[in-house]
Amino acid sequence: MLRVGITGQQGFVGTHLFNTLGLNQKEFERVIFHKNFFNNNVLLDQFVSQCDVIVHLAAMNRHADPQVIYDTNINLVHQLIHSLERTKSKVHVIMSSSSQEEKDNLYGKSKKEGRELLSNWALNSGAVFTGLVIPNVFGPFGLPFYNSVVATFSHQLTNNEVPKIQVDGDLKLIYVDELVSAIITKIREKKQEPLVLLNHTAEAKVSEILSLLENYKSKYQDSGEIPVINNTFELNLFNTFRCYMNIEKHFPVKYTQHTDDRGSFVEIIRLGIGGQVSFSTTFPEITRGNHFHTRKIERFSVIKGKALIQLRKIGTQEVLDFYLDGDSPAYVDMPIWYTHNIKNVGDEVLYTNFWINETYNPNDPDTYFENV
């Protein structure tokens, strides 16, 4: 089993890497890192000594003064190297650099020089170093106005603000889960690679990204319709957008009932894509679920009986409770990386309609069990 530590564990990429490693606990043991370790040599040395692999993600991306960015990032690398030297460690170090390396700015300069410093340390110490140069990263839970324009636009749109394009540039992008997969591959390979240029997986103009996100806002957030999704990039973008919605306030969404002397009619879902539709019966006091998905879109629609649907974001403690009643049919959609369940809290059988955007594949179920 490999013991893996992540500087910047609580950041955007760090959180996703930490959570994904947690899905492979027979292969990886996660060594906890806190950012205050950089202020305490004893704690930093203890952390370094426990690791077989260190993924160095800690860095400053934005600041009003570019010199502060440069100084901060170089200092973090120096502190890590000093700790590696004090502990005589030969740990495998992986560092994330940026495609900004090739541009004339202090952020890019700090990443390039930091990568070179760690490469020199590895050569002098006999350790293994992997330097990853990565394109623009986007995905769920990134900080708006800091991590990516996708995060900024998604935050603004879901809060009914109007995004503005500063420069309609062409962006080369990688989804955070794709980046995490690449990092885990490098952990397993353990090769001396001071410079690895990770390829982007999508390319789009800023205006094209905004147009897609505006469509998701109009179709999905405002109308409850699953939009047309043409490819993996658009699926990743849509799942990213969904995570910026105020889930606690948005759900449950009540359906419009059309009632006459024959009974009632309710439209469950409008789809721009296919998928799988099913329904379940659940007896009183029984709970289903307690699992999460990393890519699937899923809708629970309660059509008869009383239900409690619970959601909790992986890595957090807050549990969101949604009470639904078939007398007033409603739905809750499951965000990715939120473990969820549904419980019959009534006295009669609960009838639930489920829609998911892909048919079930037992060889790739994208289903991970964790109690809410």
Q: Are residues 194 and 265 in the same domain?
A: no
Q: Are residues 7 and 117 in the same domain?
A: yes
For residues 349-367, average pLDDT:
95
Cα(first)–Cα(last) distance of the chain, in Å? 27
Domain with residue 275: its CATH number is 2.60.120.10
355 within 8 A of 275, measured Cβ to Cβ: yes
For residues 348-363, average pLDDT:
95
Q: Are residues 183 and 291 in the same domain?
A: no
Q: Are residues 182 and 82 in the same domain?
A: yes
Query: What is the tens place of the pLDDT at every residue in 250-292?
Result: 999 999 999 989 888 999 999 999 899 999 999 999 999 999 9
- At residue 313, the 3 state secondary structure works out as strand
158 is a domain residue: no
Tell me the residue range of the domain where 112 lies: 2-139+171-202
In the structure, what pLDDT confidence band is assigned to residue 146 with cuts at 50, 70 and 90? very high
Neighbours of 227 (CB within 10 A): 20
Domain with residue 135: its CATH number is 3.40.50.720
For residues 331-352, average pLDDT:
98
127 is a domain residue: yes
- pLDDT of 260 reads 86
103 vs 329: CA distance, rounded Å:
54
Beta bridge pairs of residue 104: none
For residues 313-335, average pLDDT:
98
**Angle, vertex CA 35, rays to CA 339 and CA 130, nearest 5:** 85
Q: Are residues 187 and 314 in the same domain?
A: no
Q: Is the pLDDT of residue 149 over 90?
A: yes
- pLDDT of 231 reads 97
Evaluated on CA atoms 279, 313, 94, 71, the torsion sign reads: positive
- What is the number of structural domains in the chain? 2
Q: Is the pLDDT of residue 28 over 90?
A: yes
130 within 8 A of 94, measured Cβ to Cβ: yes
Nearby residues of 174 by Cβ (< 8 Å), 6 or more positions away: 134, 135, 136, 137, 138, 198, 199, 200, 201, 202
Q: Are residues 282 and 361 in the same domain?
A: yes
305 is a domain residue: yes
CA count, 13 A, side-chain hemisphere, 257:
12
